[in-house]
Structure 1
Amino acid sequence: MVELHLLDRQLEWLAWSGLHVTGWKLIGYTGALMFGARWLVQFVATRRAGKPVIPRLFWYMSVAGSLMTLSYFLFSAKQDSVGVLQNLFPCFVALYNLVLDIRLRGWRRQRG
């Protein structure tokens, strides 16, 4: 029998759900949730400002979510090239925008 990497093994504490969840899937799920939840952050910031805005947290969540889902597709048993391509470009763009935001507004930007 082939020994699986620790993160490729089924998480027994989630076996009751009937789903086959591994450590990598948990990382992938968390990344996908973070990547999707960034739109909620953007929506709330826009409602508060009364105009379209993209808060820095949006870019942090974009980078983290992309890296987490990218790592799932790269390192899990799945190793899906479509998932890698799907997450590589958004990660680069989010990181670029985060760096630009920090350069333009500094580390501790003022509110308002």
Structure 2
Amino acid sequence: MLIQLAEDLPAYFYDVFVTRFDFWLVFGIVAQLVFGSRFILQWLASERAGRSVMPLSFWFLSILGGLMTLVYGFVRKEPVIIIGQGLSTGIYLRNLALIFRERRKTRQAGR
């Protein structure tokens, strides 16, 4: 079984990454890279601050990567991606709304 899996693996990867290679595969990979880069950004910001922080740009990368992945899901007709990224992107937008509302309240209180 394990030997058969090892023999089939190159054919599987060839099918996934070569046979199906098109613009949308590249778009999906770029979307995933944008989405994943938010964690690198958050890690670097936390290292600089010496504590765990969530920079505002984390949420912008989340929205951009989430929307790109959502488009990919619609084009590829992938319901798991559509549901996951649709809900997640709504949460990212809500977080930004809460952040901006808090900043506005802080500015108004400081006047």
Same fold (TM over 0.5): yes
Return 5+ residue gaps in structure 2 as ranges: 1-16, 105-111
Q: 1:19 to 1:93 in 2, by over 3 A?
A: same
CA distance in 1, matches of 2:18, 2:28: 18
1:34-75 deviation line (CA, Å, top 9, x unaligned):
11110000001111111111001100000000100000111x
Root-mean-square deviation (CA), in Å?
A: 2.0
Task: State the partner residue of 1:101.
Answer: 99
Task: State the partner residue of 2:42.
Answer: 42
Task: State the partner residue of 2:83.
Answer: 85
Task: State the partner residue of 2:20.
Answer: 20
CA distance in 2, matches of 1:21, 1:59: 30
Look up the SS of the partner of 2:51 in the other structure. coil
Counterpart AA for 1:47: E
Of all paired residues, the percent bearing the same amino acid is 33
TM-aligned CA deviation for residue 100 of structure 1:
1.7
Structure ranking higher in helix proportion: 2
Task: State the partner residue of 1:62.
Answer: 62
Alignment of 1:72 onto 2:72: yes
Bigger CA radius of gyration:
2
Look up the SS of the partner of 1:53 in the other structure. coil
Task: State the partner residue of 2:13.
Answer: none
TM-aligned CA deviation for residue 80 of structure 1:
1.0
Moved over 6 A (4+): none
CA distance in 1, matches of 2:27, 2:80: 18
TM-score, structure 2 length as denominator?
0.71
CA distance in 1, matches of 2:99, 2:22: 36
Provide the aligned length of Structure 1 versus Structure 2: 89
TM-score, structure 1 length as denominator?
0.70
TM-aligned CA deviation for residue 21 of structure 1:
2.5
